Amino acid sequence: MSLPHALLGLLAEQPASGYDLLKRFESGLAVVWPAQKSQVYGELAKLSEKGLIEVTGTGARQRREYGITEAGRAELRGWLTEPGTDFAFRSAALLRVFFLWTLSREEGVDYLENFARINRERLAALEAVRDNAEWVGDPVQICGWLILEYGLRGSTTSAEWADWAAERLTEHL
């Protein structure tokens, strides 16, 4: 159950509407946790029912702004500090690699080269984010910076691995 906690985390920083939250997902959070609008609006309703967030104001175009409650902050804290934390991750792109032996060598190598290319594109995009940001050093931004660095290191590692894997496939298949 991560989406509700992601919303609580964003609202812990400042009040926001569903629309605002969706934009903040797209620019940043979506890299590690994508979310659809129907799901965000649905979760906001549930969180509100549970008293973890509350409507703090309304605006033009039936805008409804939510803020986190004390109960919400406690829930967020629990999620961040509980010991049995979920480290599972899923990647369809890696799953495919298990089955590359069913293709020809050329097709397999193509797949891995594409894998490398996608990761280099992502790396370039993240470098642009890093270079264009103004680093003021508030705690929120620092955590974003940590994730950004993870992205930089991770896409580099992935791209290099895919190059290596393409060579191994060429050699051994």
The whole-angstrom separation of Cα 52 and Cα 81 is 18
Interface with a copy of itself (CB under 8 A), residue from 21, 29, 40, 126: 29
**103: partner contacted, choices a copy of itself, DNA, none (Cβ within 5-8 A by kind):** a copy of itself
Helix (H, G, I), strand (E, B) or coil at 33: coil
Contacts of 32 (CB under 8 A, 6+ apart): 147
**132: partner contacted, choices DNA, a copy of itself, none (Cβ within 5-8 A by kind):** none
Pick the stretch among 14-22, 40-48, 51-59, 142-150 that binds a copy of itself (CB under 8 A).
142-150
Residue 95 interacting with DNA (CB under 7 A): no
Positions in 120-139 near a copy of itself (CB under 8 A): 137, 139
User: How many Cβ atoms from other residues are within 10 Å of residue 95's Cβ?
Assistant: 9
Q: Contact positions toward DNA, by CB under 7 A? A: 1-4, 17-20, 34-39, 41-42, 44-45, 59-65, 88, 90
